Structure 1
Amino acid sequence: MSDQIRVMVVDDHPMWRDAVERDLTAAGFVVVATAATGTEAINRFQATRPQVVVLDLQIPEPSGVEVTASVLATDPSSRVLILSASGEQDDVLAAVKAGATGYLVKSASGAELVAAVQRVAEGDSVFTPGLAALVLGEFRRMNEPSTPPGEKLTERETEILKMVAKGMSYKQIAERLVLSHRTVQNHVQNTLRKLQMHNRVELTRYAIEQGLDD
């Protein structure tokens, strides 16, 4: 990995935390900090400013959900990937509402974890299979359709937005539309600007509100 991604690993089980750190380091990520509690996580995040936080939900207080909200309030450009033993609906939705852009259950393989950290760092949303539909369905239920502010989207921007809503990665969208990865990113950036949004999670939420994931 030429441009090394800075990661913090938060888990109160030392063996699990060490294993995750080992896998990520072996894959070329730079683990800048580890933490065992919510308080440690928040303090070390502020000190090291990792790009991605790999976070267990069930940690000594404050909880993983509170840590997620705190981390993103400190640095909205950071990404939080939940790695939890729980696949319970309430846990997943609480994490996503707090701003997490990924959620893996701990049965995921080392390779799946490495791929998820890479994708989350690039701005993608990553969910353990089965959880994505749950999250999308909940956002649709929570939000009434709203009128977008600002400029009208082009047909291509709307087309890409629909694919984002379905959980496709930029790479998959580029392959489907025979475009470069950079071109897809540019379209997404233009769409964010027009809709006055800040990241892919907000964009996905908006697309679902509009029913574009059907």
Structure 2
Amino acid sequence: MNRDIKILIADDHPMLLKGLLQEFKEQGYTQMLQAANGVEALELLVSEKPAIAILDIEMPILTGFEVIVKASQLSLPTKYIILTSHKEKGFIIRAKKLNISGYLLKDEPFSEVQNCIQSVYDGTPYFSKTFENVFQEQVAPAITKLNFLSPSERTILRLVAQQKSSKEIGELVNISYRTVQKHRTNIIEKLGLDANPDALLLWTKENRELLGSL
């Protein structure tokens, strides 16, 4: 394993940051950078161009995701690994959209962090088992169901997500209230939801990250 690569660790929890740096030092890594917030992380990415950046999601000023977006716009060579406590579906979807190289949970052993770094450095993405399970069991099926929606149904779904009523949707897209209701019924059926008035709105709230791909 190459321990001479330059690695940036960004986390706003001092004890965790200190612990990670100590682990890396004990394992023989020689080029470690640290940041306590998103702005510091971005500045180091630009100035130092580390091979790998390990980022927490929730940091002051800029989140880990925001750092990756801004850094990607600058075409930096760094590969990004998220190290977080979050395993909710929305975070998994966002990470996939950003095409990051790795996603680990903070309760993983340090050996997993090392495995991830080596895999990412060699050009192979590395995701925790929890990440893969959430994606395969929750995200992928939802994406498949969305693909069955017609263009009109996708438009209706986006407007439902904006909390528009059927009457308002009809006025916006110039169709009758009855047609909107028919579309809603079809969407509910295709998404496999319960036929109750709030089911569709609740689904859009739980899957808001997915709606950006429609």
TM-score surpassing 0.5? yes
Superposition deviation, residue 29 in structure 1? 2.9
Residues 99 and 28 of structure 1, relative CA distance in 2, 3 Å threshold: farther
Structure showing greater Rg: 2
Any idea what the Cα deviations from partners look like across 1:179-201, whole Å, max 9, x if unmatched? xxxxxxxxxxxxxxxxxxxxxxx
Matched residue, 1:57: 57
- For 1:194, the equivalent position in structure 2 comes to none
Residue 5 of structure 1: aligned partner: 5
**How far is 1:3 from its partner?**
6.4
Contact 1:80 1:101 in 2 (8 A): yes
**Residue aligning to 1:30:** 30
- Cα distance in 2 for partners of 1:3, 1:63 equals 27
Residue number in structure 1 paired with 2:200:
none
The alignment partner of 1:91 has SS state of: helix
Once the two structures are aligned, what percentage of the paired residues are identical? 24
Whichever residue aligns with residue 83 of structure 1, its letter is: L
Find the aligned partners of 2:124 and 2:54 in 1 and give their Cα distance: 15
**Which string of whole-angstrom CA distances, capped at 9 and with x for unpartnered residues, describes residues 52-98 of structure 1?**
00010010121111111222332353211100011111112212312
Q: Using the alignment, how far apart are the partners of 1:74 and 1:55 within structure 2?
A: 17
Match in the other structure for 1:107: 107
The unaligned stretches of length 5 or more in structure 1 are 145-214
- What is the count of residue pairs matched by the alignment? 144
Query: 1:74 — aligned with what?
Result: 74
The answer to whether the 8 Å contact 1:32/1:48 transfers is: no
Partner secondary structure for residue 34 of structure 1: strand
Note the C-alpha offset of 1:36: 0.9
Q: Per-residue deviation at 1:12?
A: 0.2
Q: Residue 129 of structure 2 aligns to a residue in which SS? A: coil
Name the counterpart of 1:40.
40
Cα distance, 1:32–1:71 mapped onto 2, change above 3 Å: farther
Contact kept, 8 Å, 1:7 with 1:30, in 2: the verdict is: no
Which stretch of structure 1 is more off in the superposition, 104-113 or 129-138? 129-138
Alignment of 1:158-177 (within 5 A): none
Q: CA RMSD in A?
A: 2.3
Query: Does the CA-based 8 Å contact 1:89-1:134 persist in structure 2?
Result: yes
TM-score after normalising by structure 2: 0.60
Separation in 2, partners of 1:26, 1:123: 25
Secondary structure (helix, strand or coil) at the match of 1:130 reads helix
Q: Could you tell me how far apart the structure 2 residues matched to 1:45 and 1:76 are?
A: 8
Residues 1:135 and 1:76: Cα distance change in structure 2 (over 3 Å): farther
User: CA shift at 1:26, angstroms?
Assistant: 2.6
* Alpha-carbon shift at residue 136 of structure 1 (Å): 5.3
TM alignment of 1:73-152, pairs within 5 A = 73-135=73-135, 138=139, 141=143
Q: Secondary structure at the match of 2:107?
A: coil
Name the SS of the counterpart of 2:58 in structure 1: coil
Q: Which runs of 4+ in 1 moved over 4 A?
A: none
